[in-house]
Structure 1
Amino acid sequence: MYDTPTLERYAEVLFWALSRARTSAYKKSDIILVNYDIDGLPLAEEVCSLLYDKGMIPVPRMNETPRMQVDKYRKANNKRLTTLIPGQRDLYNHLNGSISIYAPASLGHLADIDPELIAMHGKAQQPLRSIMQTREDMGTFSWTLCMYPTQALAAQAGLTLEEYGHQIEKACYLNKPEPTRAWRQFAHKVDELTEWLDSFGDCTMHVESESVDLNVKIGQRRKWVGFTGRNIPSFEMYVSPDMRHTNGVYKSTLPTFRSGNIIGDIQLIFKEGRVTKVTAEHNQGFVEKQLNQDPGAALVGEFALVDKRFSPISKFMANTLYDENHGGEHGSMHIALGNSYSNTFSGETEQLTENTRKTLGFNTSALHWDLVNTEEKRVIAISPTGKRTTIYEKGIFTL
């Protein structure tokens, strides 16, 4: 799909992003896990080569193929789905970084699998996620992920493989001679924007568009987060709002793809934080199951805005990594149902205990489902004193 110079630039961007995502500098002989789908092998090879050049120790690991995944859920019993492979904990306790390359050969192969089985297997991996979170909090681990174009992705998005690959190339700045320099310049702008957004404090964000009339309360001890390096690309400015005070109507206008199901036009009605009514263009039952899987699944865990000046993504990409960063004609926003991000807490990480999360309204759930709206909109910050400031209009921040 890409020539060698483009793959080399992609690998450089990924290592730069991995380094930005970590609070302490990488050093020689650090261990980096490289997860990749088989169609992403060309990029995985280039990433491993670069890691060797930088004195790291890459651990390449190919993900399950679509057939392997289907067989796992159809043939394994509950014990096998919830068993951690011996050695996994030890590996994760020694990792210093992780680069994941998403390049699916199929998107719909899990559509007929019981979502509860998928959720069961996912929950069983929580100890590994906890290890990574602890090491990340210690400053000894960071992660990033990216996408590599495949025919399955292009077909689901209604694009040719070449068109899909071009969207990725533009979005990751791979069409520039020095993509990491372009990312550094963008990151500087992001830092200015998040500082400005933080200045509004515990306000209520009121969103108005053709199909959205929503109030989202930001909450106390919050900070806005922009480019962290954890995703390539990433153009969103996001915060985890107070889950208890979302009210109004929200509608996703980009289709969403989840567990082999593609769903369009999901409308949510919120009252005092919780979804009280949901309708979907199709797969209504699947949507309802997602929202009922635990007490936090029907509450908001993220509120985000994307400025069209920064994001060159203009097509539906059938993948959340890109769709939540949609630029297009009007920019975009998204809310995520489910789990909140702890990195939007303004205090020290260790202070965000379970009790503090509840007190401040940080949501907890196994779900984190981004739902994107691409309509022209206005976002108004309403202070506790009633002062109204338009912060986002016609696809751009007003700073």
Structure 2
Amino acid sequence: MKTFEHYLDQYAELAVKVGLNVQKDQTVVIMTPIACADFVRKVAKKAYEAGAKDVVVDWDDDEVKALRLKYAPESALRDYPMWRANGLEELAKNGAAFLQIHAPNSDLMKDIDPERVAVSSKTAAQARNGFLQYLRSNQVNWLLVSYPTAEWSAKVFPNLSADERALKLWEQIFKLTRVDSEDPVAAWQTHVEQLTSKQNMLNDKRYKQLHFKGPGTDLYIELAPKHLWVAAGSTTDSGIFFIPNMPTEEVFTMPARNGTNGTVRSTLPLSYQGSLIDGFSLTFENGKVVSAIAEVGQEVLNKMLDMDEGARYLGEVALVPYDSPISQSGLIYYNTLFDENASCHVALGNSYPFTIEGGTAMSPEELDANGYNKSLIHVDFMIGSAEMEIDGITEDGTREPLFRRGNWV
């Protein structure tokens, strides 16, 4: 019988060798909360075994961050340690690989003034923008995985004991990342092939527009003229194939910046910067959010939309079937990495240059001319459900069914 330690070891190895695909003599940067220290050590060992020349750990602590947001003078929230931002950018420039370990606590900031959180978030995003461009344009191999902390597991399984919660969440992670498969690497190869077949089908179709119809949603999204559908894996400029999200169930592309019209309603809660936004509807006119109403987290939603001009426009649209393994688990994870792969979703904010033809080589002016949206944020929120219907609309206006009852036709 395979033990918990066996699966944890498999998870670390899958992250390093398949998700991140660490190359010989490459520096690996692990960006992580201190609560994940035991897993970080396991990942570091796997990285060195895979040939990494160095492992750099960028530690963080969400509780200390919350204390700063609550008690520091506002002037401090408008200042970011540039040595940290410049260091990350320098590592990216020199070809490092980046592993981000996400351990969300969606209630951490609920008693902190959203204005202070927004100021700090914008300051950090501006300071780190140069580094983030390396990730958003796939110039480096990077990966996002999650780790069950006490706070996160309590949110997902509130009716279980502390020990049972953590173990149950680990079981879900092992299952949804295919770690519990007999051969996880082969399972991922098959999964990537299946997603790629959907990607290729959509790229062959060249739809001009998508129409989403569901409870509270009647939304038209025009796609960028040179849009490319992308799934599962990406390839860096230097030829390294990597899978940036584990788990992943999506096929996604770039909307045209000014081409979204109608209303969309969220179908799952959004955990954003330590706060929860839930039951919200957005109305778009010519690409821009002109109305935003939330049952929970209205002020946080407003601050997010006011981050900068691009925050009110879409940067991504993604298709995920309702029968995805994450959706079928029947759980709300309060973690976008998981919840976005349970549901069709869209993202407010920055577009990914690699989701249009030749986008990574375009100048800012060329990107702008091709429908690209620029923003400090990129925030996915979930809109899919068992009632979701999606039509693809061709250049000549022909409608073709893509999703019915939440799943691929």
Q: If the length of structure 2 is used for normalisation, what is the TM-score?
A: 0.86
Write the letter of the residue equivalent to 2:141: S
Distance (whole Å) between structure 2 residues aligned to residue 61 and residue 301 of structure 1? 30
Q: Helix, strand or coil: the match of 1:149?
A: coil
**CA deviation after TM superposition for structure 1 residue 133, in Å:** 5.9
**CA deviation after TM superposition for structure 1 residue 95, in Å:** 4.3
Distance (whole Å) between structure 2 residues aligned to residue 69 and residue 284 of structure 1? 22
C-alpha change, 1:360 and 1:132, in structure 2 (3 Å) is closer
**2:321 alignment partner in structure 1:** 307
Q: Helix, strand or coil: the match of 2:221?
A: strand
Contact 1:202 1:219 in 2 (8 A): no
Distance (whole Å) between structure 2 residues aligned to residue 262 and residue 79 of structure 1? 21
**2:101 alignment partner in structure 1:** 101
**2:238 alignment partner in structure 1:** none
Tell whether 2:210 aligns with 1:200.
no
Alignment of 1:300-339 (within 5 A): 300-313=314-327, 314=329, 315-326=331-342, 332-339=343-350
Distance (whole Å) between structure 1 residues aligned to residue 262 and residue 37 of structure 2? 45
C-alpha change, 1:386 and 1:371, in structure 2 (3 Å) is same
Contact 2:19 2:245 in 1 (8 A): no
**2:187 alignment partner in structure 1:** 182
Decide which of 371, 375, 385 is 1:365's aligned counterpart.
375
Structure 2 runs not aligned, ≥5 long: 159-164, 234-242
Q: Helix, strand or coil: the match of 1:223?
A: coil
Deviations 1:19-74 (A, max 9, x none): 56xxxxx5422111122222322321221111221221242425222332134444
**2:231 alignment partner in structure 1:** 226
Q: Helix, strand or coil: the match of 1:257?
A: strand
Q: Helix, strand or coil: the match of 2:24?
A: coil
**1:39 alignment partner in structure 2:** 35
Q: Helix, strand or coil: the match of 1:230?
A: coil
Distance (whole Å) between structure 2 residues aligned to residue 294 and residue 28 of structure 1? 40
Distance (whole Å) between structure 2 residues aligned to residue 163 and residue 275 of structure 1? 38
**1:157 alignment partner in structure 2:** 156
Deviates more, 1:233-242 or 1:354-363: 354-363
Decide which of 48, 53, 58 is 1:57's aligned counterpart.
53
Decide which of 269, 286, 297 is 1:272's aligned counterpart.
286
Alignment of 1:242-391 (within 5 A): 242-313=256-327, 314=329, 315-326=331-342, 332-347=343-358, 349-351=360-362, 353-375=363-385, 376-391=387-402
**1:213 alignment partner in structure 2:** 218
Deviations 1:190-212 (A, max 9, x none): 11110101122142101111221
Distance (whole Å) between structure 2 residues aligned to residue 62 and residue 348 of structure 1? 30
Tell whether 2:62 aligns with 1:66.
yes
Q: Helix, strand or coil: the match of 1:69?
A: helix
Q: How many residues align?
A: 381
Contact 1:250 1:267 in 2 (8 A): yes
Higher helix share: 2
Tell me the C-alpha RMSD between the 2 structures: 2.2
Q: If the length of structure 1 is used for normalisation, what is the TM-score?
A: 0.88
C-alpha change, 1:62 and 1:364, in structure 2 (3 Å) is closer
Alignment of 1:12-161 (within 5 A): 12-19=13-20, 27-73=23-69, 74-75=71-72, 77-78=75-76, 81-85=79-83, 88=87, 89-104=89-104, 106-111=105-110, 112-113=112-113, 114=116, 115-130=118-133, 136-137=138-139, 141-159=140-158, 160-161=165-166
**CA deviation after TM superposition for structure 1 residue 251, in Å:** 0.2
Deviations 1:300-345 (A, max 9, x none): 111111124543343110111011001xxxxx21111111111101
Deviates more, 1:108-117 or 1:195-204: 108-117
**CA deviation after TM superposition for structure 1 residue 165, in Å:** 2.0
C-alpha change, 1:79 and 1:189, in structure 2 (3 Å) is closer
**1:23 alignment partner in structure 2:** none
**CA deviation after TM superposition for structure 1 residue 90, in Å:** 4.1
Deviates more, 1:271-280 or 1:156-165: 156-165
C-alpha change, 1:107 and 1:207, in structure 2 (3 Å) is closer
Q: Helix, strand or coil: the match of 1:297?
A: helix
Write the letter of the residue equivalent to 2:393: I
C-alpha change, 1:301 and 1:91, in structure 2 (3 Å) is closer
Structure 1 runs not aligned, ≥5 long: 21-25, 327-331
Distance (whole Å) between structure 1 residues aligned to residue 257 and residue 56 of structure 2? 39
Which segments of structure 1 move beyond 6 Å, counting only runs of 4 or more?
A: none
Distance (whole Å) between structure 1 residues aligned to residue 408 and residue 96 of structure 2? 36
Distance (whole Å) between structure 2 residues aligned to residue 348 and residue 305 of structure 1? 21
C-alpha change, 1:131 and 1:364, in structure 2 (3 Å) is closer
C-alpha change, 1:387 and 1:93, in structure 2 (3 Å) is closer
Distance (whole Å) between structure 2 residues aligned to residue 143 and residue 152 of structure 1? 26
Distance (whole Å) between structure 2 residues aligned to residue 296 and residue 47 of structure 1? 36
